[in-house]
Amino acid sequence: MTDNFSETQASALIGTAEKMIEIWNRLTPQKQAALLQRFGTQENALAALVATQMLAPAKS
């Protein structure tokens, strides 16, 4: 495994991080607290939110 990222990979990682921050900032303080209690860290809570969003059926 390498620590080098292509421009495309770096862009995707940055975009994902930005989306995670955006999602977190839209949550109420109560929801943030509940997620932190359940998942332990903000990173884990955000990863769960992003995974849930990615797996949710598309709305038409």
Q: Is the dihedral of CA 7, 9, 14, 16 positive or negative?
A: positive
Token output for 1: 């495994």
Residue 5's SS3 state is: coil
Considering the domain boundaries, does residue 15 fall inside one? no
Considering the domain boundaries, does residue 33 fall inside one? yes
| This model's pTM is above 0.75 | no
Tell me the residue range of the domain where 36 lies: 29-60
Q: How confident is the model at residue 1 (pLDDT cuts 50, 70, 90)?
A: low
Considering the domain boundaries, does residue 44 fall inside one? yes
Considering the domain boundaries, does residue 42 fall inside one? yes
Q: How confident is the model at residue 50 (pLDDT cuts 50, 70, 90)?
A: confident
- How many C-beta atoms lie closer than 10 Å to residue 49's C-beta? 18
Q: pLDDT digit string (tens) for 2-24?
A: 678 789 988 888 888 888 888 88
Higher pLDDT, 7 or 54: 7
- Number of structural domains in the chain: 1
Considering the domain boundaries, does residue 17 fall inside one? no
Token output for 37: 């209690």
